[in-house]
A = this chain, B = another copy of it.
Amino acid sequence: VTTRFQSAAIIGTGLLGASLGLALKERRLAEVVHGVGRRQSSLDIALERGAIDHGHLDVEAAIQTADLIVICTPAGSVPAMLDLVLKSAKPNAIVTDVTSTKRTICTHAAHTWPTPRRFIGSHPMAGSENFGPEHAVSDLYDGRYVLVESGAGLDDAAHLAVIALWEAVGAIVSDIDPAEHDRLLARTSHVPHIASAAIAMLTHGESDLRPFAGGGFKDITRVAAGRPELWRDICLTNSDSVSKTLDDLMSVLQQFKDAVAQKDTDQLDRLFEDGRQARLDVFDQDAGDAS
């Protein structure tokens, strides 16, 4: 499997795109990296950081020679971008994306792209509440999980190439069906993010809460500082799982509320113990991590 590309195009030079550009350059995985942005000012930062070699405001100009195309725009814009890439890219180009929901996007590709398909969806578990090429780092993907689409109808070589790409920038790849991906991510990411925003909103109308907000509040609400349009798109492209999981969350909160109202000591112990155990189960290897 080749992980060296003559020409790579990164559509969207934000944190994820520009960091991938830096990693491709630093690890010599692409000879030339083209970047596409919506604003020249953002492209200029990516150019200055060395994340891309050439900046483009026009997608078709940027991708026409590319062997690798990585769509790094918000989830809502990816279906239209897939249409454009299918129309303008070289037929043997390998195409992937980096968005946090997969079912809507992979279904769109399955319905519109030829089989076997050379677009393979990806979701790197990287990024933070920071965004923009100014925060890009070449090791963003190092040691992170990247979830790569699996299923019928995919081009085997393209699938292997996408996996090899992420491994080449240091990531640990896990294959997953897009619908199952979205069901699980609603639980581990999308609804937790909504809850983080909702918890931050509990402080509305209060003044000078800084003395009352400790490390717990700070950690819990950290992701609420993220970009609204990113999370709006995630909700819209995974609405079924997000809705269902929000119901599940409200149901657990209602159990806590009932136990508090009834001053049910045993039930409160059980609920907090369940939460503690669930947290330790996910991060058992990090149980001693005090960070």
Contact = CB atoms under 8 A, between A and B. Distances in A.
A276 B243 CA distance: 21
Given A224-B276, A236-B268, A246-B257, A189 B203 contact: no
Nearest to A241: B260
Most chain-B Cβ atoms within 10 A of its Cβ — which of A239, A259, A275?
Answer: A275
A211 to B, nearest CB: 4
A199 B275 CA distance: 8
Interface residues on A, range: 35 or more
A140 to B, nearest CB: 12
A201 interface: yes
A151 interface: no
Contacts of A154: none
Contacts of A235: 256, 259-260, 268
- Assembly stoichiometry (copies): 2
A281 interface: yes
Interface string A157-201: 000000000000000101000000100110111011111111111
Contacts of A32: none
Given A189-B216, A253-B194, A260-B235, A272 B203 contact: no
A224 B274 CA distance: 9
A199 B189 contact: no
Given A225-B279, A254-B250, A257-B246, A188 B201 contact: no
A1 to B, nearest CB: 21
Given A189-B214, A242-B260, A261-B243, A228 B276 contact: yes
Contacts of A220: 192, 195-196, 219-220, 222-223
A215 to B, nearest CB: 7
Given A196-B216, A236-B268, 6 more contacts: A126-B214, A145-B210, A188-B202, A191-B199, A220-B222, A249-B253
